[in-house]
């Protein structure tokens, strides 16, 4: 990647700035030419659209004028026969009209011509109610006449008496097949399209077939661009420019479109040349600068970069003979880099020896701590075996189990690699073996089921996890006789950030949470807090008690909040903390030995 303060970018920048005024002037000329041509094309398209759609606009205007003339004739209301004759005579000079009808105020057909072509009831049309409401000429929705099987487009004009009361309407229907034939025969450019459609994009008549998608696009854009032009793009038709005009109450429109490539002609070629030529000049100048700097400077800096990369990988014997052909400045730089590599090699050797010594000392420390803990465990077991009192003997056994857990952590760390971590699968498997061995020595048997994910945790987290597990797994173990109910332990991942420890132990239901009697739950809560986690107890579907510990993996920020009090069913304002420590919400639990441990 080039830096702006290096030789090549500076030369390129200077030449680019020198040629920039010429390039900007040429680009500005091309943009102005394009804008001018677009305005000419829009004006040409609007003029052509007015000419092309004049006949269609005239059809609707003539129909409105015809209905206005008929509205003033007395024969219209003189009876069915005179009315039908009047309407029949009116159709003689209008071959595009499919029928014409005089409609009563309730929507029924009073008379029509030709007879039988008009609907018997206009009230079911949605445009009929719109016409009565708006008191204006209406272009209805296209429908298929069941008698003739043709598609027709109804037009309607409401009628009122001298007092403003609604007295009916005149309706003229246009034969859409004849209208399409008329559009196809209109003298227009070969690639022009004229569409008569509604706002929903339904094509009622056209001189050429268009796709439904294009028709809907034209209807959507044309309804908002009656005073200008708009552009449509499609994979099959390409880019087209359109002009549109409303018909009726703006719910129908006639659109005229032509391909923009035909309208623009070869103008884009000239505009492209105006923009491309200055860029070509700048590019050729940059190419000359690039080749010159490559031959004189860049190849030697690249070579020195390769040599420095080899030095960085510890390959300090890389030959630098090629620098004999380089300018003197680069030969001097190569010599200095060689000296630097020799200094780095000597320093790396010292650091490697110091690191190896540090690893040996760390392993020796863990080995000695493990041995000391084993000695402490042996002494506790030795003195505990002479104690007869059950409570005191139980206390010694629990202390021995905790010390053995600490010794196990240090033993696993001693066997770990360069980074001191502990495998959770190995930790819990050996903890289970220790507990079962200790129980069998006192004449008890316990089955511990382990289901642990393959995950690693650092030493400072492994210790509280081991103490937490020992505290829960040995609940009720040393006070029981014979076969102890089985215990289940599971450690699984929750997403990418959390670990969830679950322990099933029937003796969890007997744990005291009194404020006066120290509870193991206080120790568990303190250990969970030390790990930045959260612990709680609930009941499984079979009624057994389960203890949970959720904590985040080292080096990953995650929320460790457990379920809410309502989800656990505490109720009556008792918080989860109060449940664990044996205190109500807002009260300070009494201090005991376990609280001192937590502090």
Compute the distance between CA of residue 200 and CA of residue 218 in angstroms, rounded to an integer.
Answer: 10
Token pair recorded at residue 515? 């404020």
Q: What integer is the mean pLDDT of 368-372?
A: 76
**What's the whole-number mean pLDDT along residues 35-42?**
72
Element (H, E) at 458: strand 456-458
What per-residue string of b and e applies to 447-458 under the rule 16 or more CB within 10 Å gives b? ebeeebeeebbe
**What domains sit in the chain, N to C, each tagged with a CATH number?**
7-49+266-305 (no CATH), 56-179 (3.30.450.20), 187-264 (3.30.450.30), 420-598 (3.30.565.10)
Average pLDDT of the residues in 474-498:
79
| Whether residue 273 has a cis bond before it, omega within 30° of 0 | no
229 in the Ramachandran plot: left (φ > 0), alpha (ψ -120 to 50) or beta? beta
* Rounded Cα distance, 282 and 26, in Å: 13
Residue 143 Ramachandran class (φ > 0 left, ψ -120 to 50 alpha, else beta):
beta
Closest CA to 256 of 24, 50, 453, 419: 50
> Could you write out the three-class secondary structure of 222-235?
HCCCCCCEEEEEEC
Query: Is it the case that residue 26 has pLDDT exceeding 60?
Result: yes
Q: Tens of pLDDT along 575-597?
A: 333 333 333 333 333 333 333 32
- 3-state SS assignment for residue 140: coil
What is the per-residue pLDDT across 123-158, written as a single tens digit (0 to 9) for each? 888 888 877 777 778 888 788 887 777 888 888 889
More confident residue, 217 or 562: 217
Q: What is the pLDDT of residue 480?
A: 61
**Rounded Cα–Cα distance for residues 457 and 531 (Å):** 11
Residue of 457, 49, 101 whose CA lies nearest to 241: 49
Question: Residue ranges of the alpha helices (H) in 72-139?
Answer: 80-90, 126-134
Dihedral sign, CA of 212, 57, 112, 89?
A: negative
pLDDT at 340 over 50: yes
Which pTM was predicted? 0.39
| Mean pLDDT within 200-209 | 79
- Residues whose CB is less than 8 angstroms from the CB of residue 113 and which lie 6 or more positions away in sequence, other chains included: 84, 87, 88, 90, 91, 99, 100, 101
Q: Residue 343: helix, strand or coil by DSSP?
A: helix
User: Are the C-beta atoms of 466 and 474 separated by less than 8 Å?
Assistant: no
DSSP output for 468-516: HHHHHHTTTTTT--EEEEEEEEEEEEETTTEEEEEEE-GGGGG----SS
357: tokens are 């010594």
Alpha-carbon distance of 226 to 253, in angstroms, equals: 9
Task: Give the pLDDT mean for 53-70.
Answer: 79
pLDDT of residue 3: 58
- Percent of the chain, pLDDT > 70? 80
Sheet holding 444-452, edge to edge: 444-452, 482-494, 498-504, 545-552, 534-539
- Residue 591 DSSP SS3: coil
Tokens read off for 439 = 């129980």
51-68: average pLDDT: 76
Q: How confident is the model at residue 568 (pLDDT cuts 50, 70, 90)?
A: very low
Nearest alpha-carbon partner for 413 in 465, 452, 448, 338? 465
Compute the distance between CA of residue 208 and CA of residue 322 in angstroms, rounded to an integer. 74
Helices of type H across 138-266: 176-185, 212-222, 260-264
Mean pLDDT of 514-521: 53
Q: Which residue has the tokens 């001693």?
A: 414
Greatest Cα-to-Cα distance within the chain, rounded to the nearest angstrom = 132
Average pLDDT over residues 264-273: 66
User: What would the mean pLDDT of 465-494 be, rounded to a whole number?
Assistant: 80
């Amino acid at each position: 990647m080039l830096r702006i303060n290096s030789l090549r970018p500076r030369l390129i920048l200077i030449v680019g700035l020198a040629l920039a005024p010429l390039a900007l002037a040429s680009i500005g000329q091309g943009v102005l030419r394009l804008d001018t041509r677009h305005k000419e094309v829009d004006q040409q398209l609007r003029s052509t659209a007015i000419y092309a759609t004049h006949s269609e606009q005239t059809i609707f205007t003539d129909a409105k004028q015809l209905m206005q003339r008929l509205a003033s004739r007395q024969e219209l209301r003189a009876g069915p026969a005179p009315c039908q004759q009047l309407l029949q005579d009116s159709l003689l000079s209008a071959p595009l009209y499919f029928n014409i009808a005089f409609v009563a105020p309730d929507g029924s057909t009073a008379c029509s011509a030709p007879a039988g072509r008009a609907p018997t009831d206009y009230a079911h049309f949605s445009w009929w109610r719109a016409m009565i409401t708006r008191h204006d000429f209406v272009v209805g929705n296209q429908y298929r006449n069941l008698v003739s099987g043709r598609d027709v487009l109804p037009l309607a004009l409401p009628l009122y008496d001298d007092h403003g009361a609604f007295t009916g309407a005149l309706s003229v229907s246009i034969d859409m097949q004849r209208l399409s034939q008329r559009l196809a025969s209109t003298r227009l450019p070969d690639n022009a399209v004229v569409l008569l459609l509604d706002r929903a994009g339904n094509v009622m008549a056209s001189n050429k077939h268009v796709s439904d998608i294009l028709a809907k696009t034209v209807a959507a854009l044309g309804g908002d661009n009656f005073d200008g032009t708009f552009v449509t793009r499609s994979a099959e038709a390409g880019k087209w420019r359109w002009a549109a005009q409303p018909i009726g109450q703006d719910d129908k429109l006639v659109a005229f479109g032509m391909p923009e490539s035909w309208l623009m002609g070869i103008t884009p070629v000239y505009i492209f040349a105006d923009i491309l030529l200055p860029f070509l000049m700048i590019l050729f100048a940059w190419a000359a600068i690039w080749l010159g700097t490559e031959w004189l400077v860049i190849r030697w800096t690249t070579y020195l970069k390769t040599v420095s990369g080899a030095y960085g990988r510890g390959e300090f014997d890389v030959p630098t003979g090629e620098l004999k052909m380089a300018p003197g400045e680069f030969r001097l730089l190569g010599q200095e880099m060689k000296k630097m590599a020799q200094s780095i090699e000597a320093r790396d050797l010292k650091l490697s020896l110091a690191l190896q010594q540090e690893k040996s000392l760390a392993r020796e420390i863990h080995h000695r701590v493990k041995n000391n803990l084993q000695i402490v465990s042996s002494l506790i077991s030795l003195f505990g075996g002479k104690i007869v009192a059950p409570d005191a003997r139980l206390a010694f056994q629990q202390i021995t189990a905790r010390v053995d857990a600490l010794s196990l952590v240090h033993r696993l760390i001693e066997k770990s690699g360069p980074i001191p971590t502990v495998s959770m699968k190995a930790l819990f498997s050996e903890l289970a073996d220790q507990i079962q061995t200790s129980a069998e020595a006192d004449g008890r048997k316990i089955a511990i089921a382990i289901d642990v994910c393959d995950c690693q945790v650092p030493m400072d987290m492994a210790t509280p996890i081991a103490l937490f597990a020992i505290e829960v797994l040995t609940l009720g173990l040393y006070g029981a006789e014979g076969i102890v109910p089985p215990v289940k332990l599971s450690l699984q991942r929750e997403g990418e950030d959390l670990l969830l420890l679950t322990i099933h132990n029937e003796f969890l239901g007997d744990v005291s949470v009194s404020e006066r009697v120290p509870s193991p739950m206080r120790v568990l809560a303190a250990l969970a807090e030390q790990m930045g986690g959260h612990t709680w107890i609930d009941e499984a579907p079979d009624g057994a008690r389960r203890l949970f510990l959720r904590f985040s993996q080292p080096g990953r920020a995650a929320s460790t909040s457990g379920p809410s009090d309502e989800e656990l069913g505490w109720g009556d304002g008792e918080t989860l903390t109060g449940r664990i420590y044996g205190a109500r919400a807002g009260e300070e639990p009494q201090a005991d030995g376990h609280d001192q441990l937590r502090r």
